[in-house]
Structures are given as structure tokens and as C-alpha cells.
A and B are shown apart, each in its own frame.
Chain A
Amino acid sequence: MMYGGYTGRFLTVDLGTGEFGELPLSDELAESYLGGRGFIAKLLYDRLPRGIDPLGPENEIIFATGPATGTMIPTASRIAVGVKSPLTGTISASYMGGHFGPELKYAGWDGVIITGVSPKPVMLVIDDDKVELRDAAALWGKDTQTTQSLMTEELGPDFRTGAIGSGGENLVPFANFLHVQHAAGRGGPGAVFGSKKLKAVAIRGTGGIRVAPAPAEYIAGCKELHDIIMENPVRPAFRWAGTTGMLPVVNEAIGLPWRNHQDDKVPDVSSIHNEEIAKYVKQYEACSGCNVICGSVVEFERNGKQYRSERIEHESVWALGPDCDILDLPALFEANLECDLVGIDTMTAGSTIAWAMEMTQRGLLSKEETDGLDFTWGNADVLVPAIRKMAARDGFGAILALGSRGAARAIGRGEEYAMQVKGLDMAAYAARGFTGMGLSYATTGRGADHNKAFTVAAEFLGVLGDYDRYTMEGKPELVKRMQDSTAIIDSLIMCMFTVDLGITVDLYARCANLPTGMSITADDVYTIGERINTVERLFNIEEGFTRADDTLPQRLQKEGAPSDPGGHTCPVDDVMDEYYEQRQWDADGVPTATLLQRLGL
């Protein structure tokens, strides 16, 4: 490996045979795909046979860092976890912050490729070059936080830990993998861990990462980038409220979905306002190498029990809260923590409960079918029992554990009320209020992901242009461009928040060049991003996805939100041809030969 920032190798782990190996990282792979999401796209596309069962032995788990991970580039703490998603059947990469990614780099690995199925529960321990699989019988069945405490007891405090909970063990297709309470997150990687009997991963890295320039030059270059974030006027809002600062603002703008997207404004969010959330904060928490510091720890009480947890995030507070018309903050803290303990995605869990509530409202779901659980709008007491039943796949929980679309199909009704794309439930930004988000939900490879082109920045925050929120005009170009630039953020890997904090595309190029010594331009950023998005598209096309999957629920395309006097809709089907043209995909959504040639595919 001629470039700085990388360790130059992937660890390979065969859980079936217990064998370990090394896969050298080529200069060409680094140049074409950069890292993180790019590596996952290329590796899974090349390695996985088509049509496999995501929970079968042929699926793989790929941990991938990027060249910036752990190198003091601001926010570059993140690690990607890639699988063929058991929820959507698409390629999927999930991300988490904390200290896990940098530790893997310090241990000397850019990533880990995990194949096969272990005959019994195991924990993967990576101690620099020393790798072992330890028996995890004593951890199996434990929640994610207890598991990590037991790992620390067994291995000592120097190891960074991550684990699945009962959700992953029970193969819930939206189960996740948590390092402390940082979750990699959506798309169900935790279920793939569970299918492989891989309960946990521990890492200790005592080595270093070399960067291309001389130390003094590198430190000065990084300091400039850090100062851009420190001096950005938006930074104090993140530092104080984390992501939840957006909630009241978006709601006021009629952009926060309510009651399973039946409306886009919550009558009153004062009880879950970020100022309310802030009252519970006990301390602030950063990820490794981050000066945004959006994390914090809260202490709260509910039904006489005391809890200590990471503060709830915007998407989680929304999905478990307003989407279910639940505005009881301690109940949301508790439900968020419960999701983290059992290791399931808060967003899909909340959205699926919201689906059950709308089904109940419409008389399409009876209490007899829900094992007596009361899915009336606003019933805060249903959250924890529903979450536990989902993770355990117990009774009606086994239906909910399929996500909203899967649940509707299982009971044979209500798919029109499943607010999802490709099986991945939608996020807290109303498609009808931010049509770019709607188009992004419709076209993103793994479904309705809000972080693959955060057009709210350009449509509402005024960060990347000044687009009309409501019109579809210009959105195919905007979404395509932001999907491509975001692929680089996910490959370096930096945090999405940097988009709002003054890091522009030419600066992402600088974040790639500084540690590596490459000379990527802003144009190259878009080209590499386009290549990553195209490979992900090829993966999905070869898995049988078609134009019919690139859509939004009809409610959002046909009906305006009652609170919106303009009655705006998000008719993404109308602009799909234009979006495909922007992408150089044919009318069926298949990448053209011209595009593949241009991208060297």
C-alpha cells in the first residue's frame, strides 16, 4: 500500500473453520473506492453469490474503516458494517461512531471480512495481530450492555467492545450491532451476526497509523479542518442538543411526520423539545477525534425505576415518539434504551409500532391478534412490551419483527400503511415537506435511508444551495449529486454532520488527500461516489430489484399533509425518468454500458 492512512490489509475470519487470514488492500481498490462504504460495495458485489439467503452461511459481514478513520481528521471515528440485508435483500452498510473504528486501525487492520457459521456462540477477539475466537456461551442471551460489561471483565478495560442482543440472536431482520450504545444501526447486520453465532467483537490496538505528510504539516492541516468546524455557527447547537435540535424546527416547518405519516406536523412537541431533553443531560460524550461532541448521557426515572443511558437521538425520539403520537419523554428514553439493550433498530421498531397503531385506528387490527397489546395512538406503555416481544419473536412480536412491510404481508393486509421503501422504514423528514428527501428515500440502494442524500441541507437549511422544498424541479440532479458526495463521507469515513458544519466537497477531497497523499479533486469525489452508488445498484439489480422498487408509498405521492395549506405531495414516480437520466441508467433503472465504461466497471 503506497498511500498513508491505511494499514494495507483486511483480516479474514472463517467462523466455520476457525481460520484467520489476511487480504492485502491494493492501491487500485483504495483509489477507486477509497474505503468504508466503497470497500463494502466492491467486496460484497465481487464476493457474494447472487440470490443467497441473507441469514444463510454464504452471507458475509464486512467491517470497513476508511483512510481517515483514527487519523485526527475531524469526526473520522466511524466504522461501517456491511452485509446483504435480511430486511431488504439489498446491499447494506451501517455505521457507528465511538472508538471501535480507530481501535481496529490501531490494531493494524483496515477491515474484517467474516465468513461462515460458527457451530457455537463465539466472541471474536482482535488483539493487534493476535486473533482468536472465544467461547461465548456465557454471553449468549445477555443484553448488549451486560455483554459488553462481561467482555470488559474477561478481557480488561483496554479492549473496545461491541455485541448483538437478543434481537440479533433471534434473527430479527432489523437487529443491529452496538459498540457501547453506538449502533450500526439499520438494515439488520445484527441478525447476520446472530445467524453466524457471532455474539461479540473485542478489539485492542496498540499500533499506530502513518500518514503521508510530515507530522508538523499534517497537524497543521488537520487543525485547519478542526477550526472550520469549531468556528461554524451551527456547531454550538450540535454540541448542546445533538441531533434533537432539529426536531422543533422541522416540526414548525411542517416537516415532521406524525401518526405514521398521516400528517407532517405534531400538534405540540413542547414535551419532547430539545430543551426538555437537555434537562436530563448529565455529561457530554464525543466520538474519537471529534470536536462536534453531539453525544451525551442522560439519567431519568420511569415508573419508579432509575436509568442511565446515552441521550436519545432525533430519529429515535421521532420514530418511537411523534410517529406513534407518544410525547412522554421518559417513556421514549426508556424505549430507546430497551431497543439498545435487545439490539434492534429504534427507527424500524418505532415505525412498525406506528403501522400497528394506524391499523388499530382503522379497525384492521384487533387486540386478539396483538396478544392483548394496546396499539392505541399515544399509548406509551405499549413501547417496551412491544419491543421485547419483537426481539424475542414472541407471538405478535414475531409479526412486528418483520418490519412494517413484512408485518403487513404476514397478516395479508395494510401494506399501503407501511411507510417504507424496499422494506426499510422511513425517517423523520417528511417526504412531502422536503421532496428531495422523498426522492432520496425512493432511490437509495437500501431503501428509505435519510443519510444517503440529506437534501434538507439544501432545501431548508440553506447550506448547499437554495432549493424550493416542495417542487420536484431540480431534485433529480440534487439528489444524484448529494448521493454521490455522501458516498465519499461514508467511505472516508466521516460523520454526516460535517455537511452542516462547513465541510464542503473540496474539503472532503482534502480530508482524503491529507492522510493518504492522494490528489483527489472535487470532481473525483463525485466520480468515486458515482462508482460506489453504481456498484450498489448493480448488486441490487442482480438481486432482482427493478424500477418498481424505486418508489414511495402512494399516500405521500397522492395526498397532501392535512396541516400543509399548500397540500403538497411528493410525486417521485413523475421524475424517475429524469433521475435515471441523471444517473445514466436506462428506463428500467439499469446502469448503461456508457456509464460502466466511464467508471471503469
Chain B
Amino acid sequence: MHYITFDKEKCVYCEMCSGVCSLSKLGQIKPSAACIKIARDTAQSFGQLSCAVCDMSHERACIDACPVEALSYDEQTGVVRFDAGLCTMCESCLDACPNVGIDRESERIMICDLCDGDPLCVKWCPEGALSWEGRS
């Protein structure tokens, strides 16, 4: 099983990851709706950076929270799939996991699908803060 890892010491807050992710998934550059988002701790000046992206390692709380099976686990690729036809936009998945995103304009739940095995965010990160690792 693969997942995106984040090195907070290397991230420089260019947000290229959320730009390219949103363009690829939604057809527009829209960082707020990307599957990967970088946030800054604003309590300190130039505070710690953190990354919200599906880490594929948890209990898949998003799937459990979905009342209509719009989210499902793809055994073959190890990612969560979203079916827009079934989704009622109840947003229960958003409450269940901080790494779930949403694009209200297109009514899509945004969860990292690893770009079918070639994650763009990793490719675009200029500092190597994102990498793409396997986990047994």
C-alpha cells in the first residue's frame, strides 16, 4: 500500500501541491478544494507547516461515516473511491477525518487517489518535502 508522506522541515509553503492537485482533479487551480492542503500554525511568526492528505493508514473513518456508500475502498489500488452519483453532500465524511476535502461547486468529496500511481504533488514539490512511499 502506498501513501504520501510529508516532511515539515523541508516544506517552504509554495503550495504548488494543492495547485496542481486541484487543476488535475477539478480542471481549475483551486487550492482550497485540493486533496492535499498545506496549513501554517499562525500562533507563531512563520509558524510550523502541516499537511492534510489521506495517509491511507487509518481506519478509513470516511467510509464508515458515509451513510450511502458514496465512498468505498478500492482493494486493488489501496485508495478511497468517490461516487458522485450516490453522494448526498451530507458532509459526514468531513467531520470524520481532517484529511477529507470538498469542492462544493462540483459537489465532489476530495480524497487523495494517488493520481493512479503517479502523484502529481510529489512530482511538483520543489523541495522534496512530499514523497511517495510504500508501506507493508
Q: Is the CB of A288 within 8 A of B15?
A: yes
Is A218 close to B, CB under 8 A? yes
Residue from the list A152, A211, A291 in contact with B42, Cβ < 8 A: A152
A102 to B13, CA, bound (A): 13
| Chain B residues in 8 Å Cβ range of A71 | 29
Is B81 close to A, CB under 8 A? no
Most buried by A among B22, B26, B45, B120: B45
With A72-B29, A209-B29 in contact, do A291 and B16 touch (Cβ < 8 Å)? yes
B interface with A by C-beta (< 8 Å): 9, 12-16, 19-20, 22-24, 26-33, 39-40, 42, 45-46, 105, 120, 124, 126-127
Q: Is the CB of A208 within 8 A of B46?
A: no
| Chain B residues in 8 Å Cβ range of A173 | none
A72 to B20, CA, bound (A): 8
A309 to B44, CA, bound (A): 11
Is A525 close to B, CB under 8 A? no
Question: Could you name 26 residue pairs across A and B whose Cβ atoms are closer than 8 Å?
Answer: A70-B19, A72-B20, A99-B13, A106-B31, A180-B46, A206-B32, A206-B33, A208-B26, A208-B28, A209-B28, A209-B29, A210-B27, A215-B27, A219-B23, A226-B124, A226-B126, A283-B12, A284-B12, A286-B12, A286-B13, A289-B14, A291-B14, A291-B16, A295-B12, A297-B45, A297-B46
Minimum CB–CB distance for A257 against chain B, Å: 31
| Chain A residues in 8 Å Cβ range of B16 | 72, 289, 291
| Chain B residues in 8 Å Cβ range of A72 | 16, 19-20, 23, 29
Most buried by B among A99, A223, A289: A289
> Which A residues between 148 and 181 are near B, CB-CB below 8 angstroms?
149, 152, 157, 180
Is A207 close to B, CB under 8 A? yes
User: Of all chain A residues, which has the CB nearest B27?
Assistant: A215
Q: Is the CB of A209 within 8 A of B45?
A: no
Most buried by A among B16, B27, B39, B127: B16
A205 to B16, CA, bound (A): 16
Is A9 close to B, CB under 8 A? no
Q: Is the CB of B12 within 8 A of A219?
A: no
Is A122 close to B, CB under 8 A? no
| Chain B residues in 8 Å Cβ range of A216 | 24
| Chain B residues in 8 Å Cβ range of A211 | 23, 28-29
| Chain B residues in 8 Å Cβ range of A180 | 46
| Chain A residues in 8 Å Cβ range of B26 | 208
A577 to B73, CA, bound (A): 74
Is A145 close to B, CB under 8 A? yes
Q: Is the CB of A106 within 8 A of B32?
A: yes
In addition to A152-B42, A211-B28, 5 A-B residue pairs with Cβ atoms within 8 Å of each other are A102-B31, A208-B33, A283-B46, A297-B46, A310-B46
Interface size class of A (residues with CB under 8 A): 35 or more
| Chain B residues in 8 Å Cβ range of A206 | 30, 32-33
Is A293 close to B, CB under 8 A? yes
User: Of all chain A residues, which has the CB nearest B29?
Assistant: A209
| Chain A residues in 8 Å Cβ range of B23 | 72, 211, 215, 218-219
A286 to B125, CA, bound (A): 12
| Chain B residues in 8 Å Cβ range of A132 | none
Give A378-393 as 1s and 0s: 1 = Cβ < 8 Å from B's Cβ atoms: 0000000000000000
Minimum CB–CB distance for A72 against chain B, Å: 5
Q: Is the CB of B29 within 8 A of A157?
A: no
> Which A residues between 162 and 206 are near B, CB-CB below 8 angstroms?
180, 205-206
A226 to B123, CA, bound (A): 12
| Chain A residues in 8 Å Cβ range of B32 | 106, 205-207
Residue from the list B14, B20, B24, B45 in contact with A290, Cβ < 8 A: B14
With A145-B45, A157-B39, A218-B23 in contact, do A208 and B29 touch (Cβ < 8 Å)? yes
Is A230 close to B, CB under 8 A? yes
| Chain B residues in 8 Å Cβ range of A223 | 124
A180 to B127, CA, bound (A): 22
Residue from the list B15, B20, B120 in contact with A99, Cβ < 8 A: B15
A127 to B130, CA, bound (A): 30
Minimum CB–CB distance for A212 against chain B, Å: 12
Residue from the list A102, A285, A291 in contact with B46, Cβ < 8 A: A285
A223 to B120, CA, bound (A): 11
| Chain A residues in 8 Å Cβ range of B105 | 207-208
A286 to B10, CA, bound (A): 11
Is A314 close to B, CB under 8 A? no
Is A117 close to B, CB under 8 A? no
A283 to B40, CA, bound (A): 14
